[in-house]
C-alpha cells in the first residue's frame, strides 16, 4: 500500500516548532494561512513581517521570513518605513485588535489612507488576549471582560468598532475583507482573502487588509468548541463577513 501524505507543515513554518497558543486559539490557524500563501506565491525570501505586541508577539518564532518587532500598535508605521526604502519587498503586518484598533488606530488609518502597498493581517478576537482578557475596542455589546465585568455597556464604553467598514470608507485602500477561522468552511475563504491580500502587493496594487475573526477561548472563559460556536453565533452577526472593498 502506498503512503499518501495528508498533512505537512508549510515550508515557511519554522522547522520543528510548535506554537505556544492556547488550545482552540485562532492565531495558529491564521499563521498557517499566512505560511501557506507565502509558500504558494514563492515569496519567502522577499517577505518582511512586522510582529505586533499581543499574543502573536512571537510570530517570528513560527513564520520563517525576515522580521522586525514593532512597538504596540505601530506596525503599519514601521512597515511604511521599510516599504519606502524597499518597494521591491513584500511587507506585511500581523496585528491584534487591541494593537490595531486601539493604541494603533492612528497608524492603521494613515497607512490605509496613503494607500501604501502593504498587507495587513488583522486578528479580531474581541479582547486583549495577552494581558488577560481586558475590554478591547472590538469587545461586543454585553460581552464580559476583566475590565467590564458586567459586560460592555455602550453608555460607558461606546460601541465595538467595525474596523473594516471604517477603513473601507477611505478612498485609498484597495482591498478590505472580513473572514473567520471559526470552521473549516470559513477557513477556505479566509485563505483566499489572505492570498488576495498578498497577491495585491506582489502586483503592486496597494493597501490590502484582511480582518480575521478569531477565537480566544481562554479569555472568553469557554471551551474551544464553545468558543468557535460563540464566534459564529455572536460575533459574525455584529461583524458581517465579506469583501468591503476591492480593486476594480
Ligand X SMILES: Cc1ncc(C[n+]2csc(CCOP(=O)(O)OP(=O)(O)O)c2C)c(N)n1
Binding site for other proteins (CB under 8 A): 44-46, 48, 50-51, 57-58, 60, 64-71, 74, 77-86, 89, 106-107, 109-110
- C-alpha cell, 41: 506565491
Phi, psi of 201 (to 5 degrees): -70, -40
Applying the rule CB under 6 A, the residues between 185 and 214 that interact with ligand SF4 are: none
Q: Which does 91 bind (CB under 5 to 8 A by kind): ligand SF4, ligand X, Mg ion, none?
A: none
Distance of alpha carbon 22 from its chain centroid, rounded? 17
Per CB under 6 A, does 25 bind ligand SF4?
A: yes
Q: Which does 238 bind (CB under 5 to 8 A by kind): Mg ion, ligand SF4, other proteins, none?
A: none
Q: Which does 55 bind (CB under 5 to 8 A by kind): Mg ion, ligand SF4, other proteins, none?
A: ligand SF4
**Considering beta carbons, is residue 31 or 195 the nearer one to ligand X?**
31
CB of 116 to other proteins, least distance (A): 9
Contact 107, 122 (CB under 8 A): no
Residue of this chain nearest to ligand X (CB atom): 96
Phi, psi of 55 (to 5 degrees): -60, -25
**CA gap 62, 20 in Å, rounded:** 10
**CA gap 162, 35 in Å, rounded:** 26
Question: Whole-angstrom distance between the N-terminal and C-terminal Cα of the chain?
Answer: 50
Applying the rule CB under 6 A, the residues between 107 and 136 that interact with ligand X are: 123, 125, 127-131, 136
Closest by CA to 90, choosing from 112, 66, 115, is 66
**CA gap 139, 126 in Å, rounded:** 4
Contact 167, 207 (CB under 8 A): no
Q: Which does 170 bind (CB under 5 to 8 A by kind): ligand SF4, other proteins, Mg ion, none?
A: none
Considering only 33, 48, 212, 216, the residue that binds ligand SF4 (CB under 6 A) is: 216
Applying the rule CB under 5 A, the residues between 110 and 139 that interact with Mg ion are: 125, 129
Strands (E) across 44-116 are located at 47-51, 66-69, 90-96
CB atoms within 10 A of CB 144: 17
Q: Half-sphere exposure of residue 200, counting CA atoms within 13 Å on the CB side? A: 28
Applying the rule CB under 5 A, the residues between 52 and 111 that interact with Mg ion are: 96-97
**Considering beta carbons, is residue 43 or 227 the nearer one to ligand X?**
227
**Considering beta carbons, is residue 27 or 245 the nearer one to ligand X?**
27
Q: Which does 225 bind (CB under 5 to 8 A by kind): ligand SF4, other proteins, ligand X, none?
A: none
Residues that bind ligand X (CB under 6 A): 53-56, 72, 96-99, 123, 125, 127-131, 136
Amino acid at each position: 500500500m502506498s503512503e499518501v501524505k495528508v498533512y505537512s507543515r508549510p515550508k515557511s513554518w519554522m522547522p520543528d516548532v510548535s506554537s505556544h497558543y492556547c488550545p482552540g486559539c485562532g492565531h495558529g490557524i491564521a499563521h498557517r494561512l499566512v505560511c501557506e500563501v507565502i509558500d504558494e506565491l514563492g515569496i519567502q525570501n522577499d517577505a518582511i513581517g512586522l510582529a505586533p505586541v499581543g499574543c502573536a508577539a512571537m510570530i517570528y518564532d513560527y513564520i520563517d521570513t525576515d522580521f522586525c518587532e514593532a512597538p504596540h500598535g505601530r506596525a503599519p508605521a514601521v512597515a511604511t518605513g521599510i516599504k519606502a526604502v524597499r518597494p521591491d519587498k513584500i511587507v506585511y503586518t500581523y496585528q491584534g485588535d487591541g494593537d490595531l484598533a486601539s493604541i494603533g488606530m492612528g497608524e492603521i488609518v494613515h497607512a490605509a489612507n496613503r494607500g501604501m502597498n502593504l498587507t495587513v493581517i488583522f486578528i479580531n478576537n474581541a479582547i486583549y488576549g495577552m494581558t488577560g482578557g481586558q475590554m478591547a475596542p472590538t469587545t461586543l455589546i454585553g460581552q464580559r471582560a476583566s475590565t467590564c465585568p458586567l459586560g460592555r455597556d455602550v453608555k460607558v464604553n461606546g460601541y465595538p468598532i467595525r474596523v473594516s467598514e471604517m477603513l473601507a470608507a477611505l478612498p485609498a485602500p484597495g482591498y478590505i475583507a472580513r473572514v473567520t477561522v471559526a470552521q473549516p468552511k470559513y477557513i477556505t475563504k479566509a485563505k483566499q482573502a489572505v492570498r488576495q491580500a498578498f497577491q495585491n502587493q506582489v502586483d503592486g496594487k496597494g493597501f490590502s487588509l484582511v480582518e480575521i475573526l478569531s477565537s480566544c477561548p481562554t479569555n472568553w472563559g469557554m471551551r474551544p468548541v464553545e468558543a468557535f460556536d460563540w464566534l459564529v453565533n455572536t460575533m459574525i452577526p455584529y461583524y458581517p463577513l465579506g469583501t468591503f472593498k476591492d480593486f476594480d
